[in-house]
C-alpha cells in the first residue's frame, strides 16, 4: 500500500487515473473507522490533506452563489461568514459529531460516503446544489439529485474526485433539524432541511429513504394553495408536515423504526415551516 499526498487537483486526478482502485482520503473520519476495524484494507491511498485549493470557499455576488471546496471542514461552515450566506448548512454542520469530528470531517467526505444520514446532504438537496467532479479527462457538474443514486451509492466514477459544490446564496429563511437519541455525537434518525429560495419553499429529508428525499408533492401543495406564506395557519403547517411524512420512505433498522421516523418527519417539517413564518 502506498500513500500519495498530491498538492493539486491535477496531481490528485492523475493519481486516480493511474490507480483506479485507490482510496480517496479526506478528513478520514469515515475511512479511518473502517481501517481501524479492518473493514477496509485499501490498496493505495490518495490523501487530499495537502490540496489547498480544496479547502477554499468563495462567495460570488454576481451569480449570487457560493462555491465550497470538498476539503472544507464542518468547523468552518458552522459559524462566521459562511453561516451568514448558508445558514442551513451551518445548522447542519453544528449537529455533526463533536468538535473534534467537525474539525476533521469535510463536505467532500460526507458526499463521498453519501449515507442517507449524512447531515449536509438534505441541505444540498433542498438548495439544488451542483456537485463538481474532476478526473484527468476534465470536469463535470451534476445536480445533487443525480449525484446520489442510492444508499452510499453515487454517480461518481472511480477515477473522479469531488472538488466542491455550488449552492445559491440564501435569499429567504432556511433551517435544518435533526432527531437523534441524544444531543451530542449522534447519527440522525430523521432529519429535514427547509429552505425558502426565490420565494419557493423547498423541503428535503434525511435518514428516511434510500436517498435524500425531496418532498416535491408537499412543496407543490404549498405553492398552489398559498399565495404568501403569511397566509398559513397552524393547521396548514400541520398538514404540510403530514404531507411531507407521506413522502418519506423510512425503514426499520438498528437506529429506529419506520413508524417513529415517519412521525418525526411530520413534526420536523411542521416546525420548520412554522419557524420560517415566524422569522
* Interface contacts to ligand FAD, rule CB under 6 A: 23-31, 33, 48, 70, 95-97, 101, 104-106, 108-110, 112-113, 118-119, 161-162, 185, 187
Grid coordinates representing 91?
Answer: 445548522
Residue 181 is a binding residue for another protein (CB under 8 A): no
Find the binding residues for another protein in span 79-108 (CB under 8 A). 97-101, 103-104
**Shortest Cβ 241–another protein spacing (Å):** 29
Exposed/middle/buried for 150, CB within 10 Å: 0-12, 13-18, 19+? Answer: exposed
> What is the DSSP-derived secondary structure letter of residue 229?
G
Out of 24, 45, 123, 167, which residue is the one contacting another protein (CB under 8 A)?
A: 45
Q: In whole angstroms, what is the distance from residue 53 CA to residue 51 CA?
A: 6
51 binds, among another protein, ligand FAD, none (CB under 5 to 8 A by kind): none
Residue 1 is a binding residue for another protein (CB under 8 A): yes
Residue 180 is a binding residue for another protein (CB under 8 A): no
Contact call for residues 186 and 88 (beta carbons, < 8 A): no
Q: In whole angstroms, what is the distance from residue 42 CA to residue 160 CA?
A: 17
**Shortest Cβ 70–ligand FAD spacing (Å):** 4
Contact call for residues 182 and 105 (beta carbons, < 8 A): no
β-pair partners for 106: 73
Contact call for residues 252 and 258 (beta carbons, < 8 A): yes
110 binds, among ligand FAD, another protein, none (CB under 5 to 8 A by kind): ligand FAD
Contact call for residues 248 and 205 (beta carbons, < 8 A): yes
**Shortest Cβ 110–ligand FAD spacing (Å):** 3
**Shortest Cβ 164–ligand FAD spacing (Å):** 8
β-pair partners for 174: 195
60 binds, among ligand FAD, another protein, none (CB under 5 to 8 A by kind): none
Contact call for residues 273 and 238 (beta carbons, < 8 A): no
CA-CA-CA-CA torsion sign (208, 146, 114, 124): negative
Between 47 and 131, whose beta carbon lies closer to another protein?
47
| Residues ≥6 apart with Cβ < 8 Å to 46 | 4, 6, 12, 15, 16, 19, 22, 23, 24, 25, 161
**Shortest Cβ 122–ligand FAD spacing (Å):** 10
Residue 254 is a binding residue for another protein (CB under 8 A): no
Question: Which region among 24-32, 210-218, 222-230, 240-248 touches another protein (by CB under 8 A)?
Answer: 24-32
| Footprint on this chain of another protein (rule: CB under 8 A) | 1-7, 11, 25, 27-29, 31-33, 35-37, 41-42, 45, 47, 49-50, 75, 97-101, 103-104, 183-185
Amino acid at each position: 500500500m502506498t500513500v500519495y499526498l498530491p498538492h493539486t487537483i491535477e496531481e490528485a486526478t492523475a493519481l486516480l487515473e493511474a490507480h483506479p482502485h485507490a482510496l480517496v482520503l479526506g478528513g478520514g473520519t469515515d475511512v479511518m473507522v473502517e481501517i481501524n476495524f479492518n473493514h477496509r484494507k485499501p490498496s493505495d491511498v490518495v490523501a487530499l490533506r495537502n490540496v489547498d485549493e480544496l479547502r477554499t470557499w468563495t462567495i460570488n455576488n454576481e451569480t449570487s452563489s457560493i462555491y465550497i471546496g470538498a476539503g472544507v471542514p464542518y468547523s468552518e461552515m458552522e459559524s462566521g461568514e459562511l453561516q451568514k450566506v448558508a445558514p442551513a448548512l451551518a445548522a447542519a454542520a453544528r449537529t455533526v459529531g463533536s468538535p473534534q469530528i467537525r474539525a476533521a470531517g469535510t463536505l467532500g467526505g460526507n458526499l463521498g460516503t453519501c449515507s442517507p444520514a449524512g447531515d449536509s446532504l438534505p441541505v444540498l438537496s433542498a438548495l439544488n446544489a451542483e456537485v463538481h467532479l474532476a478526473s484527468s479527462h476534465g470536469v463535470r457538474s451534476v445536480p445533487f439529485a443525480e449525484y446520489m443514486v442510492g444508499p452510499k451509492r453515487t454517480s461518481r466514477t472511480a477515477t473522479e474526485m469531488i472538488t466542491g459544490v455550488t449552492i445559491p446564496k440564501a435569499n429567504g429563511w432556511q433551517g435544518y433539524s435533526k432527531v437523534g437519541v441524544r444531543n451530542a455525537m449522534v447519527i440522525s434518525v430523521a432529519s429535514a432541511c427547509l429552505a425558502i429560495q426565490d420565494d419557493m419553499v423547498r423541503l428535503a429529508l434525511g435518514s428516511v429513504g434510500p436517498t435524500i428525499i425531496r418532498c416535491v408533492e408537499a412543496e407543490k401543495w404549498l405553492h398552489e394553495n398559498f399565495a404568501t406564506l403569511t397566509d398559513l395557519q397552524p393547521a396548514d403547517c400541520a398538514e404540510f408536515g403530514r404531507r411531507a411524512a407521506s413522502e418519506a420512505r423510512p425503514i426499520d433498522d438498528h437506529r429506529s423504526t419506520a413508524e417513529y421516523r415517519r412521525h418525526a418527519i411530520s413534526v420536523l417539517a411542521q416546525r420548520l415551516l412554522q419557524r420560517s413564518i415566524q422569522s
